Amino acid sequence: MSHPLLDTKVIEEAPGVYLNETGDVFALFDAQVQDSGNISYGVQVGQQRFFVKTAGDPHDPRPFLPHEERVALLHNAVRVRRSCSHNALPRLHNVIESAHGPLLVYAWVEGELLHAGSAARQDPHSAMQRFRRLPLPEIMRALDFIFDLHCELAQAGWIAVDFYDGCLIYDFSCEKMHVVDLDMYREGPFVNEMGRMFGSSRYMAPEEFERGASIDERTNTFTMGRTAANLLSDGTLARSAFRGSDAHYEVVRRACSDERRRRYASVGDFCAAWLGAGKGNP
């Protein structure tokens, strides 16, 4: 028997119409919760749950990215996912084409988004603050998972763009981290043609604000260092706030250097130093 989300390749209806006809839409992520213009759905068909991402309404003038660019980014997300088999990435079951662009049918993953807006960022009940209070070994395992993923992606030629805590879903009950929304990752190195690139300034390297600067794996090592600073600390590089060892702290400080030449040359070098710090090595 054909499965409407796993076997279908092309639909004539608008994505929202098709998904509501196909299963139970139990979650909607639209302009009320994001400003990208993408519209995503939680859909249950039988006993299976899926996360379906679309490029949204092609006639909506409000999003900052035109519809055709959102469509291109979703196709890029497919390329990223198919180039990497890491378990941190939700499974991509299928891609369904429509007149409104592709429907990316992912496995639904349980958990909470670690990102909170600036007004709620220090709320002790937020997912991020609860994550920061977890036992240190649990946080370290999650960080290792994130870093290992980006090492694998770098080996496949991808440079992280727009990676921040809004890409992290953590299941507190199962101690499982998932990384999502890699639509803007690019094959690199490449030149910053924008000036201020997309992303959260809490994770971005100086060259991501500089038109004409090279964006490469040294940029990614900065982002990984900032990830540790945000998940293991209060977002600063103050030693007093950092929960890791002195050796881990030195790895983060080097990765987050404003001077590119002082950083690790590759994500692989960063990961090796991070793992070495965990073994008591400098």
Q: So where are the chain's domains?
A: 15-107, 112-278
CB 63 within 8 A of CB 70: yes
**Rounded mean pLDDT, 113-136:** 89
**Residue type at position 253:** R
**Rounded mean pLDDT, 31-46:** 86
Q: What is the largest CA-CA distance in the chain?
A: 59
Residue 278 parent element (H or E): helix 267-278
Is residue 10 classed exposed, middle or buried when 0-12, 13-18 and 19+ CB atoms within 10 A define those classes?
Answer: exposed
Same fold, 15-107 and 112-278: no
**Rounded mean pLDDT, 122-143:** 95
Q: What is the pLDDT of residue 282?
A: 41
Instruction: State whether residue 53 is helix, strand or coil.
Output: strand
**Rounded mean pLDDT, 155-171:** 97
Q: Which two tokens stand for residue 241?
A: 């706030």
How far, in Å, CA of 236 to CA of 198, rounded? 21
The pTM of the full predicted model, rounded to 2 decimals, is 0.94
The architecture (CATH level 2) of 15-107 comes to 2-Layer Sandwich (3.30)
Q: What is the pLDDT of residue 61?
A: 83
Residue 4 parent element (H or E): none
- Cα radius of gyration rounded to whole Å, the chain: 19
Bigger pLDDT: 36 vs 234: 234
Residue 245's pLDDT band (boundaries 50, 70, 90)?
very high
The architecture (CATH level 2) of 112-278 comes to Orthogonal Bundle (1.10)
Q: Are strands 48-54 and 214-215 parallel, antiparallel or unpaired?
A: unpaired
How far, in Å, CA of 158 to CA of 178, rounded? 18
CB 187 within 8 A of CB 158: yes
CB 135 within 8 A of CB 82: no
